[in-house]
Amino acid sequence: MAKQKRNDAPEGFRKVQTSISGFWKPEGAGEFLQGVVGSMITVKSKKEGDDNRFFPLTLTSTDGGPVVNTEGKSIPMEAGQIVGVSGKMLFAFLGAREGQEVFLVYRGKGKAKPGQSAPKLFETYEREAE
């Protein structure tokens, strides 16, 4: 089998990102994100039974954000970039829409139940089939 000796792909191919660039970390009401939903990813946590779960979104718009990297620094958004999205309020919506384009809008925090953090609230939209 021949090995690839050059760094560029054959004609007709374009580079596709295959790793997470960062995570959507909305802070203010009205912040949004638009992209195509991937399959849920589970990352083992150091704590027993406390796995981290998120959905990757391949961005279809450079508007919205903010997106932060693993060091917590804001990074610029690019179409085609893969961004992690988490949150219990979004899981049922995103899980039922793998492969579909969605638009998510952060609406702020709801009322906290005793002993719990206030839930983050979102408006969720899906692209209608053409």
Q: Is the pLDDT of residue 129 over 80?
A: no
Task: Report, as an integer, the average pLDDT of 59-75.
Answer: 90
Tokens of 96: 């039922």
75 within 8 A of 12, measured Cβ to Cβ: no
Q: Does residue 4 sit within a domain? A: no
What is the pLDDT, as a whole number, of residue 114?
Answer: 94
Mean residue pLDDT of the chain comes to: 87
Q: Does residue 7 sit within a domain? A: no
Q: Does residue 24 sit within a domain? A: yes
Sorting pLDDT into bands at 50, 70 and 90, what band is 15?
A: confident
Tokens of 73: 């620094």
Q: Does residue 62 sit within a domain? A: yes
Q: Does residue 120 sit within a domain? A: yes
Sorting pLDDT into bands at 50, 70 and 90, what band is 71?
A: confident
Q: Does residue 88 sit within a domain? A: yes
What is the pLDDT, as a whole number, of residue 24?
Answer: 93
Per the listing, tokens 């391949």 go with: 58
Task: Report, as an integer, the average pLDDT of 69-92.
Answer: 88
Domain span holding position 73: 20-126
Length of the chain: 130
Q: Does residue 5 sit within a domain? A: no
**In b/e form, how buried is each residue of 51-68, taking b as 16+ CB within 10 angstroms?**
eeebbbbbbeeeebbbbb
Domains of the chain: total: 1
